[in-house]
Amino acid sequence: MKLDQRCRNIELLLTDVDGVLTDGALIFDNQGIESKQFHVRDGLGIKLWQRAGYRFGILTARTSHIVRLRASELGIAIIRQGFEDKARAIDDILTDQQLQADQVCYVGDDLPDLPVFRRVGLGVAVSDAVAEVRSAAQLVTELPGGKGAIRELIERLLKSKNRWSDLIRKYMEH
């Protein structure tokens, strides 16, 4: 299937967190409190994707309170944390969401994401993903993880569905 057709089929966009929604750095203060940095344009992209009527979710091997906070802020209802076996988790998500594999896009950056790529319709690697993930992906973003890669992908998906112009019209009008 051609890339444009894969993009048009997507109803659910799932992403990893560390290295995709963030730059992959794990920062701990002296009390052991973790912090993460998210890119604001990725956040608006996620909101635009949802405004267009599509679903967004998070699938990550790590568990973090910060991820729950960011997901809540963005209205993300599909959150699967602490899943080292992401392939099994994706099967559960497909069942829960009543979707076919070709309706799902997954964005990853490291080796644990490879099994998910084989189970979804569109596997996407951020530009700074490990070589094996970039090779397995049907699409590699120009931007790195945590630096707007998700927004870049969402724009591409929405443009392939002819939805982008309508969604940004209110920002373009004076």
Over range 33-49, report the average pLDDT: 95
Residue 22 neighbours by CB under 8 Å, 6+ apart? 36, 37, 38, 145, 146
Residue 72, Cβ density class (10 Å: 0-12 exposed, 13-18 middle, ≥19 buried): exposed
Question: For the segment 129-160, what is each residue's pLDDT rounded down to a tens digit?
Answer: 999 999 999 999 999 999 999 999 999 999 99
Over range 15-34, report the average pLDDT: 93
Split at pLDDT 50, 70, 90, the class of 170 is confident
- β pairing state of 122-125 and 104-108: parallel
Q: What is the pLDDT of residue 174?
A: 64
* Statement: residue 1 has pLDDT above 90: no
Over range 25-31, report the average pLDDT: 90
Q: What is the pLDDT of residue 33?
A: 87
Question: For the segment 55-108, what is each residue's pLDDT rounded down to a tens digit?
Answer: 999 999 999 999 999 999 999 999 999 998 999 999 999 999 999 999 999 999
Question: For the segment 108-131, what is each residue's pLDDT rounded down to a tens digit?
Answer: 999 999 999 999 999 999 999 999
Q: What's the first-to-final CA gap in the chain, in angstroms? A: 41
- Write out the CATH class of domain 3-169: alpha beta
Q: What is the pLDDT of residue 173?
A: 82
**How far is the C-alpha of 149 from the C-alpha of 93, rounded, in Å?**
23
